[in-house]
Chain A
Amino acid sequence: MATAGEAATAPLQKLHGANIIAAIKQSGVDHILSVPDLHTSQGVLRPISTDNHLKLIRVCKEDECIGIAAGLTYGNIRSLVLIQYTGFLYAINAIRGVACEQNMPICLMIGLLQKEPGVLPQNSKRFGLRIVEPMLDTLGIPHTHIETDDDVERIAPAIEHAYKHSHPTAILIGGRAI
């Protein structure tokens, strides 16, 4: 049984990886490009790795994803870049040069590792998390924050809009997917 202290720190609502994956499929994405992100490792990446309907391309460094995703668009293949926020910060130049300046539909799913449950990224105690959304704003990349299952319905429309209008988009996974 949870103690009162444990209950107070637990998220009020859950975020299920299965719902995220269903939304990814709903968007028409069938290629996942990823460097493992601890935040989404068990709930999202692990089941994707055994999903016969999603092709997982494991890369060595996050900026590789941006080039591969750009190349895939020339075969009308929709892909999703599944990375940790630290990898997003690392890959900003590639995102700037390929996704933003070339108006490419590069779709980023960014795990906000160690974000406090229920806390908005800009209010996190962690500097790295607080700067993610301002960076996206500076780059002009629309973004949405997924904290619980109630938010998952925003994933597919965000990806659909990115491909329809050829622009990058970012889906921030704040809740720890189970």
Chain B
Amino acid sequence: MINRAELLRFFATKITDEIVVATYSSASDWINIADRPLNYFSAGAMGLASSHALGLALARPERRVIVLDGDGSLLMNLGSLVTIAKMAPTNLTHFVFKNGSYEANGGHPIPNAGTDFAGIARSSGIAKSSTIHTLDDFKAKANYFLTEPGPVFCCLDIEQGPLGKREYAYMYRPEQRQALRDALAAGKP
């Protein structure tokens, strides 16, 4: 199993001008590691990160869009995998952090922790779907996830993280969204 924060710290060294769409626990870790204008925090309704990301990917084809999703979140929007497969944005990489729980909602288990998310993604039509169990394996494939024509889907088998305080008000502030718009308009990394 992978420690999510460790993985994200490594991942932060690899990214440049990608838009990162993060939600709930992964967003909490990510903003502490890489607080940057090109972050987009999926707010307002749990499960929609992949849909926000699809819109961004279609709107900004010149940018890679990376989704940091959760297993509990994706379960609320499994249909988005079918939509993404059909639209087939080549600039979209969808990570799902799988810890088998609704971590942000108190750590309760998802209905079936044995769910094969990569299998669901593949069956939905996203051929480039995989599961990664170790940080070393992720490190070995990080460049693939950033450069392979998408859509690319990867389920990351992670440990449950701390049920700590979430800085949602900071993540979801309007200034964050405006910073993203400004960065995109300016073409900044």
Contacts and interface: CB of A to CB of B under 8 A. Distances in A.
Please say whether chains A and B are actual partners in one complex. Answer: yes
Interface size grouping (class) on chain A = 20 to 34
Interface string B21-45: 0000000000000000000101111
Contact of A63 (B48, B49, B60, B184): B48
Among B45, B47, B181, residue most surrounded by chain A Cβ atoms (within 10 Å): B45
Contact of B52 (A67, A77, A101): A67
Contacts of B52: 67-68, 70-71
Contacts of A74: 40, 55-56, 59-60, 180-181, 184
Nearest to B21: A71
B55 A97 contact: no
A66 B59 contact: no
Nearest to B65: A71
Interface string A64-87: 111111111111110000000000
A30 to B, nearest CB: 11
B57 interface: yes
Contact of B45 (A69, A98, A103): A98
Contact of A96 (B44, B79, B86): B44
A93 B59 contact: no
Contacts of B77: 61, 63-64
Given A67-B48, A102-B44, A60 B58 contact: no
Nearest to B172: A102
A57 interface: yes
B83 A64 contact: yes
Given A71-B59, A72-B55, A97-B44, 11 more contacts: A63-B77, A67-B42, A67-B52, A73-B55, A74-B184, A75-B58, A75-B60, A93-B44, A96-B44, A97-B43, A102-B43
